């Protein structure tokens, strides 16, 4: 499909698209609860901990799955869930079976050992590892000397952007960056954005009927949001997107419908210890309670290693 004459924007989590049989939830081998447990254990053992727990969970279902790297993280989290909360074993999950070594992020960016990517975490000064091969990727050293999981290395001066089914491939910093449009219920298309210069861009697009964006009235149709994107009527079932979502109608005539958290119990960012043992985390508007003792730890504390107020398990 080649389109010209439209002011186009790349799709993101807020973009709309046609509903497909395969949605983001079909890409997951671990349950929502598994990922929450793994994030709590990882945080308690101070491995790649970024503060609050909810962003760790939502990243797995949003950013990671769109980058088509979820199989890599699934394997890491399966390893974490089998440790019983023994932090030395958790660390080995992120060290390719060995305890990770310290590193200087200013001078040690990382390296590749076959498909295994080693990278220096700038926050902790620790050299962690992941097997890119779990997602069918290679380990690639980029132009910035950092390592990445990618289809291949690339030269931005000669690389031609392309769609591989629903996968979007562009060259970024010397490696092929992938985005999976199917996660949003969309297809990948190469669109002409500048006819004079023959400039093309890749976009996630729907396949509905033609529409006029100046006249179209975006709306919710039950659980689906319906909009006009790139001159195409597009519909996405919010319940098929990562997490637990519903369609929220436009606030006014200048707004668009959005896929928002379906739960009504809490707001994103609410995390606290229900008592001395139970961590309570808000995800998509619903509270999830986890007993830290069942994960191999002794108690729940409100102060994490980053001194953030929230819910953290600890020994």
* Sequential DSSP letters for 190-211: EEEEETTTTEEEEEEE----B-
For the stretch 79-101, pLDDT in tens is 999 999 999 999 999 999 999 99
What stretch of H or E contains 60? helix 54-61
- pLDDT, tens digit (0-9, with 9 covering 90-100), for 187-231: 898 988 888 777 889 988 888 899 999 999 999 999 999 998 888
In a domain, 21, yes or no: no
Look at residue 301 and tell me if it is in a domain. Answer: yes
| % of the chain exceeding 90 in pLDDT | 63
Both structure tokens of 278 = 């139970």
For 279-299, the pLDDT digits (tens) are 999 999 999 999 999 999 999
Residue 314: partners with Cβ closer than 8 Å, 6 or more residues away = 44, 292, 297, 298, 299, 300, 301
The structural domain count of the chain equals 1
Indicate whether 94 belongs to any domain. no
pTM of the model: 0.82
Question: Does 195 reside within a domain?
Answer: no
- What order do you get walking across the sheet with 232-237 strand by strand? 219-221, 224-229, 232-237
305, pLDDT greater than 90: no
Instruction: Give the chain's mean pLDDT.
Output: 86
* Domain extent at residue 278: 271-314
Residue 34 included in any domain: no
Give a yes or no: residue 279 inside a domain. yes
pLDDT given for residue 308 in this prediction: 59
Distances (CA, A) of 46 to 30, 57, 63, 123, 149: 22, 16, 22, 11, 23
**Within a domain: 107:** no
């Amino acid at each position: 499909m080649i389109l010209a004459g439209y002011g186009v924007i790349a799709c993101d989590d807020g973009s709309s698209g046609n509903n497909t049989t395969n949605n983001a939830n079909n890409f997951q081998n671990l349950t929502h609860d598994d990922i929450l447990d793994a994030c709590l254990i990882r945080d308690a053992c101070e491995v790649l901990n970024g503060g609050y727990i909810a962003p760790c969970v939502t990243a797995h279902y949003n950013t990671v799955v769109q980058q088509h790297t979820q199989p890599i993280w699934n394997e890491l989290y399966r390893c974490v869930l089998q440790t019983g909360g023994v932090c030395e074993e958790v660390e080995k999950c992120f060290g390719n079976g060995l305890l990770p070594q310290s590193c200087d992020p200013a001078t040690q960016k990382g390296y590749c050992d076959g498909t295994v990517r080693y990278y220096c975490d700038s926050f902790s000064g620790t050299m962690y590892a992941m097997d890119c091969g779990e997602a069918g990727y290679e380990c690639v050293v980029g132009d910035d000397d950092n390592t990445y999981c990618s289809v291949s290395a690339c030269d931005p001066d000669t690389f031609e952007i392309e769609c591989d089914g629903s996968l979007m491939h562009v060259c970024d910093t010397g490696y092929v960056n992938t985005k999976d449009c199917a996660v949003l219920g969309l297809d990948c298309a190469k669109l002409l954005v500048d006819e004079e210069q023959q400039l093309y861009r890749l976009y996630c697009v729907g396949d509905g009927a033609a529409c006029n964006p100046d006249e179209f009235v975006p709306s919710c149709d039950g659980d689906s949001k319906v909009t006009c994107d790139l001159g195409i009527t597009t519909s996405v079932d919010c319940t098929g997107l990562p997490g637990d979502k519903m369609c929220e109608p436009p606030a006014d005539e200048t707004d668009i419908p959005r896929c928002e958290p379906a739960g009504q119990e809490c707001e994103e960012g609410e995390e606290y210890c229900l008592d001395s043992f139970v961590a309570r985390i808000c995800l998509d508007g619903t509270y999830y309670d986890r007993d830290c003792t069942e994960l191999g730890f002794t108690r729940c504390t409100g102060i994490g290693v980053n001194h953030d107020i929230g819910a953290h398990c600890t020994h």
